[in-house]
Amino acid sequence: MTTVRTAILSCLLLAFLAVAPVRAADVEGSRDHPMISRYDGSEIVRYEAKEFDAYPLPVSRSKGMREGPQQAQAVEGRLTRINYRAPAERSALEVFRNYQGALQKAGFEVLFQCLDQECGPMSHAILTKSFAGLSMLHYNDKDQKYLAARLARPEGDVYVALYTVRAYSVGGQNKDRVFTQLDVIEARPMQAGLVQVDADAMAKEIAANGRVALYGIYFDTNKAEVKPESKPALEEIGKLLDKNSSMKLLVVGHTDSAGDFDYNLDLSRKRAEAVVRELTNQYGVDAARLKPVGVSFAAPVASNRAEDGRAKNRRVELVER
């Protein structure tokens, strides 16, 4: 019944915003998101999609041009970003209200919304962490609108970040035109099982460097429960400790930089504790040999500016003690 309701809501959303086919003026290779159509008559001026990425969803006003939002919710999944240019003579408020009404009709829960200067200075900057922004989005905190929303679905939640602005500070054909940045994040776990861990390889790495980084232990976004697909990695850690009876380890949780440091500090600690519980309860490891530690994003192994770096930073490490 829930799946049917979700399908109906998705159809409502498609119907509520006027459905428009791909237009000749759209950038090559672009298309509307299948769940959310464009404001009627709009053109796609920029389009990007990533199969899996981290996204700091802004849920507060902006602190400043370069500082981003005061609060952000870390989300992971398929990310689609579409920049639309609305027809001439349309207001930013009209375009925004159409999207806002459609999302609410379709069952999306609004997590945060703001209008104009209450969004903060140059608040478009909060949406350009993962991609470079369009210059047309840069210069108007007097006529800007933003909302973040979530649709709960059995197959994975969908998050939307919507930013609409009038570009009064540019010239040419774009002067005073309304632009919308639509970011859609379909939350889902990264494809698992691509990297295998081995007890002997872990032992060699620890002997050489005093530590080993693991990428085979999985958690849902913002959750601290160890996912079932982590079993192969946990089994190998159990073997490692069984073969090396005197070994004692710090189990260290690491996150990327999406979201607040203190929030990630708590999350990384809880994840480390969850790994220790699994090893002691399911694999018979003596709890005295393991100490859970969380360090948030204080010890990156790569830049957090791109997804490949963020993926390397989201890890569990075993550190010999």
Distance separating alpha carbons of residues 241 and 228, to the nearest angstrom: 21
Distance separating alpha carbons of residues 275 and 152, to the nearest angstrom: 28
Residues 6+ apart with CB under 8 A from 134: 45, 46, 83, 179, 181
Amino acid in position 232: P
User: Which residue segments constitute the domains of the chain, with CATH numbers given?
Assistant: 15-187 (no CATH), 199-320 (3.30.1330.60)
Residue 17's closest CA among 96, 81, 116, 85? 96
Q: Which residue matches tokens 């429960």?
A: 225
pTM for the full predicted model: 0.56
Q: What is the pLDDT along the chain (321 residues), one digit of tens a residue?
A: 444 344 434 444 544 444 445 565 899 989 999 899 899 999 999 998 888 888 888 888 877 666 667 788 888 888 999 999 999 989 999 999 999 999 999 899 999 999 988 887 754 444 544 333 444 455 567 888 999 999 988 778 899 999 998 887 676 778 888 999 999 999 875 555 455 578 998 999 899 999 999 988 988 878 899 998 899 899 999 999 999 999 999 999 999 888 889 999 999 999 999 999 999 999 999 999 999 999 999 999 888 877 667 888 899 999 999
